[in-house]
Amino acid sequence: MDTSARDFLVELLETPSPSGYETRGQRVWVDYVSQFADDVRTDAYGNAIAVHEGDPDGPEVVLTGHADEIGFIVKSIDDDGFIRPGRIGGSDPTVSQGQHVTIHAADGPVEGVIGQTAIHLREDGEEPEMEDLWIDIGAESEEDAEDLLEVGDPITFSSSVSWLTENRLAARGLDNRVGTWAAAEGFRQAVEAGTEATVYAVSTVQEEVGVKGAQMVGFDLEPDAVVVVDVGHAVDYPSAPSEKTSQMELGGGPGLGRGSTNHPVIFEGLRTVADSAEIDVQIEALGLGTGTDADGFFTAAGAIPAQVVSVPNRYMHTPVEVIDTDDLEEIATVLGLFASRAHEFAPFEVDV
């Protein structure tokens, strides 16, 4: 990964972007894609759309990921100044206690910790629920806390990027800033290759709370094909429940979804271009939907052929998600090739 792309990835990951509060992260993404897009725009909720104008008679292809990350929200403040958090997306209470967090208030960040009763004082066997969590910001009263923040402020874990090796990366929010990175990089590669297709790179909002941004953008653009990049479960670690999902692993290459939402013509197109670049792929069985923006796109405006490509990811929805950046770079390459050769696979229709 070259320095510019690496710096872009790190900046995306270190810019807080919880669902409903994505504007700071979207600005980072917009600034980057503006260097090689014909036009970049945002909509009323902050979905960001870059376009390369191709042949008016050629296919229109969307490359996309979602900008938002899971987190918390200030739900209430008690008399003693402790913050009671609510969920933003699928936050997991079992990994939240004892963590440093940042509350993103209007006047600047407020640091805090999610408290936990010491092991000496608690009973065994109970997993925490959301209502068991509280955040300690050092305030001594409700009034002290209200001087710093207010109900509705978003909260993220305070962890940042750790390079475990040259190509193994740990961070919060890899789900799914890696997807928006891949969409931007695939878009850049397609533009530089001189694709005749009209190609959109899209960074959506509010995927973690119901694929809302994808529904908005799909209705707006009505493209011929959509390739969604998100994370998928890598199960190559001790005690992983590998029987619950497909057998993906870090460093094994892009995960291509099959079944349900995933469109077979796009699937075969992606596999074809991956083979042409000698990139190995992993197959991910998704028979009941994808749980990604692909589910929002494919029926947003009638029928939009959609396909998910997964970045294998360990420890999803924790502050220490782990990916292999070789997989991520290969996904960007596959996206760029697919967009460059989209005319070979269009029209994106099944034979009946």
CATH number at residue 116: 2.40.30.40
Per-residue model confidence as pLDDT tens digits over 96-112? 999 999 999 999 999 99
| Residue range(s) defining the domain that contains residue 285 | 3-69+172-345
Write down the pLDDT at residue 302.
Answer: 87
pLDDT, position 242: 87
Looking at the structure, do residues 186 and 130 belong to the same domain, yes or no? no
Q: Any known ligand binding at 230?
A: yes
Q: In this structure, are 266 and 295 located in the same domain?
A: yes
CB 334 within 8 A of CB 254: yes
Question: Of 157, 184, 210, which closes a domain?
Answer: 157
Token code pair at residue 165: 């090796």
Q: Is residue 163 domain-resident?
A: no
138 and 247: one domain? no
63 within domain boundaries: yes
Instruction: Tell whether 239 and 92 lie within a shared domain.
Output: no
Residue 162 lies in a domain: no
Distance of CA 253 to the CA centre of its chain: 18
Q: Which two tokens stand for residue 273?
A: 């271009």
> Rounded mean pLDDT of 246-270?
97
Which pLDDT does position 234 carry in this prediction? Answer: 97
Given a cut of 80, whether residue 305 has pLDDT beyond it is: yes
Give the closest residue to 136 by CA, choosing from 169, 168, 99, 109. Answer: 99
- Out of 157, 185, 211, a domain closes at 157
Matching residue, tokens 């407020």: 110
pLDDT at 126 over 90: no
Q: Is residue 164 part of a domain?
A: no
Q: Percent of the chain, pLDDT > 70?
A: 100
Q: Is residue 287 part of a domain?
A: yes
144 annotated as ligand-binding: no
The 10s digit of each residue's pLDDT in 20-64 is: 999 999 999 999 999 999 999 999 999 999 999 999 999 999 999
Q: Is residue 98 one of the residues assigned to a domain?
A: yes
Domain end call among 157, 188, 217: 157
Residues 321-347: pLDDT tens digits?
999 999 999 999 999 999 999 999 999
Residues 191 and 337 in one domain: yes
Note whether residue 351 is domain-resident: no
- 326 annotated as a binding-site residue: no
- For the chain, give the mean pLDDT: 96
Residue 308 to residue 254: CA distance in whole angstroms: 10
Query: 343 near 196, Cβ under 8 Å?
Result: yes
Do 181 and 274 lie in one domain? The reply is yes
Task: Name the residues annotated as catalytic.
Answer: 207
Please indicate, yes or no, if residue 325 is contained in any of the structural domains.
yes
- Check whether residue 20 and residue 150 sit in a common domain: no
CATH of the domain at 178: 3.40.630.10
Which helix or strand (DSSP H or E) is residue 162 part of? strand 162-163
Number of domains in the chain: 2
Do 256 and 328 fall within a single domain?
yes
Question: Does the annotation place 132 within a ligand binding site?
Answer: no
The pLDDT assigned to 122 comes to 83
Are residues 134 and 113 in contact, defined by beta-carbon separation less than 8 angstroms?
no
Q: Quick one: 211 and 79 in the same domain?
A: no
Same-domain check for residues 7 and 133 = no
Taking the whole predicted model, whether its pTM rises above 0.85 is answered as: yes
What value does the mean pLDDT take over residues 268-272? Answer: 98
